[in-house]
Amino acid sequence: MEEQETKRKHAEEQTRESRQDLLNIIHYLPESTLVIDKEGKVITWNRSMEAMTGIKAEEMLGRGDYEYALPFYKERRPILANLALSPDKQMEKRYTTIQRMGDTLFGESFTPGIPPGDMHLSSTATVLRNSRGEAVAAIECIRDNTEWKKLQERLSRAEKMEGLGRLAGGVAHDLNNVLGVLVGYSELLAEAVPEGSPLKKYAKTIMQSGMRSAAIVQDLLTLARRGVTVSEVVNLNSVVIDYFKTPEFEELNFCHPQVKISTNLEEGLLNIKGSAVHLSKTLMNLISNAVEAIPGSGEVTIRTKNRHMDVPIQELPEGDYAILTVSDTGRGISADDLDKIFEPFYTKKVMGRSGTGLGLAVVWGTVKDHDGYIDVQSDEGKGTTFTLYFPITRDEEDDDRKIVPVENYQGSGESILVVDDVPEQRELAQSMLGKLGYTVISVSGGEEAVTWLRSNKADLVVLDMIMDPGIDGLETYQRILKINAAQKALIVSGFSRTEKVKKAQELGAGAYVRKPYILENLGMAVRQELDRS
């Protein structure tokens, strides 16, 4: 009997030690873990759970009546461990996703309960059974997936933007070809009509409308991440100051006199590399949205400042940044809308009256093209703040912006071969260059251009990059170089500066001219290329 009692005590001691070992393992698990018994009372609350909720184990052990749900959901309700023990179809619907595999449940949920903010939680719960197979408890592990969810959403948004951008880019190419003819011929018509004729005003109006349409097309190209073709030294303070001098800003002020627009620009703001035109359009879109978000009187504030990042934040590596911030005291943006504001054609405005729905999508595309980052903070009923981060450059801003007189880009009979698959574009280029004093020949495709150059010479080839059917501009230029390795050429395209354009320029092609172009753009590019040694 004494020996049996000793064995019994030894077995009980081993059981206690095993139980304590198990509790220690659970306590030190990296995932937040709790265990509840059949009555729904907490019997384990590990240190990771303490860190996540801010509630010590001694405060929670023995508690029931769903009190352990309060830190997460701000209400007493069954959690996944309860549902593992006692399935409840109605309560399972409160999880965004839920899956059952035998005794184990997998679920995801959104919780507004834990400071400092909303969290996305991923949970796994399973029933614990004794040696007789009876359910005695349930264990639940909870993981904070908030950052992973944010990364997933950003990736999804980026993929969606890229897909829409590719579609927009293809449409933009065709539109630019049409607008090129409209803008070009209306400019030539305006110059041909005598002063005082009403036709002159009509022609100029057509040209200006075409250029405005081209600006919208350029927005589409920006979405396609093919819009920023210029990389120059830019100061964001200059972008802000120059925008305040534009007719667009004057019109905005006139239409919204009740909104005060103020600035706080840091002296000595560091320069960035990029396109002043696209950055100005970005600023215009942000200010326009901010002003229109204020229903009555209010204020929009534009700030700039330098900031050094000691450690990487989100998508930003450590380093120096110039920051542009646009804040408003408007109605704010709802959490649902905040996930959609950068999507093309998504707008709360009246379509066709106050916007195209491209504004913030263009902002997104431009910032990405400048290797920057956007942060948006909004509080419904209080306002919104857009913060744009741009990596700085130590290069100095170039203030030498001279206007070149027409005489400086006129021709002297030099021969130019125009290669374009669109008949109207060929005729337009021929008319413009002929007006400037050049001898112009035009062909409809790359193969025809190569054949012509085998038996003729041209001082310059004006080459469309995208031609269909037949070989494109890059292959055409590669074949031309086999005939004449020193052949001068410049590139025109309605699809902005693609990788093929860059490759052609690496091979020796000169300037890139974007359609639609006006006489000055084309003339200056041609003259500079002809004069290049």
pLDDT recorded at residue 357:
54
Distances from the Cα of 90 to the Cα of 105, 203, 399, angstroms: 15, 68, 68
Q: Is residue 474 part of a domain?
A: yes
Residue 120 lies in a domain: yes
Same domain, 397 and 250: yes
Query: Are 462 and 514 found together in one domain?
Result: yes
Regarding whether 503 and 394 lie in a shared domain, the answer is no
Q: Are 256 and 397 in the same domain?
A: yes
Residue 71 belongs to a domain: yes
**Does one domain contain both 378 and 493?**
no
Residue 462 lies in a domain: yes
Dist CA 138 CA 31 (whole Å): 16
Q: Is residue 197 part of a domain?
A: no
Do 395 and 248 share a domain, yes or no? yes
What is the Cα–Cα distance from 520 to 99, expressed in whole angstroms?
Answer: 66
Specify the CATH number for the domain of residue 500: 3.40.50.2300
- Answer yes or no: do 396 and 275 share one domain: yes
Of the CA atoms within 13 Å of residue 452, those in its CB half-sphere come to 18
**Domain endpoint, select from 144, 179, 205:** 144
pLDDT at 322: 96
| pLDDT the model gives residue 117 | 57
Report yes or no on 56 lying in a domain: yes
CATH code for the domain in which residue 290 is found: 3.30.565.10
The sign of the CA dihedral 436, 442, 446, 452 is negative
Domain boundary among 383, 401, 419: 401
Q: Is residue 164 part of a domain?
A: no
The answer to whether the predicted template modeling score (pTM) of the entire model surpasses 0.75 is no
With a cut of 50, list the residues of the chain below it in pLDDT. Answer: 350-354, 400
What is each CA distance from 149 to 52, 152, 314, 378, in whole angstroms?
A: 18, 5, 13, 19
- 349 shares its domain with 444: no
Q: Mark whether 245 and 314 lie in a shared domain.
A: yes
Say whether both 466 and 346 belong to one domain.
no
Residue 115, pLDDT score: 58
117 and 250 assigned to the same domain: no
CATH code for the domain of 122 = 3.30.450.20
Phi, psi of 401 (to 5 degrees): -125, 80
Residue-number span of the structural domain to which 524 is assigned: 406-531
Same domain, yes or no: 356 and 425: no
- Does residue 216 sit within a domain? no
Phi, psi of 342 (to 5 degrees): -90, 5
Structural domain tally of the chain? Answer: 3
Domain end residue (candidates: 372, 401, 430): 401
Q: What is the CA radius of gyration of the chain?
A: 33
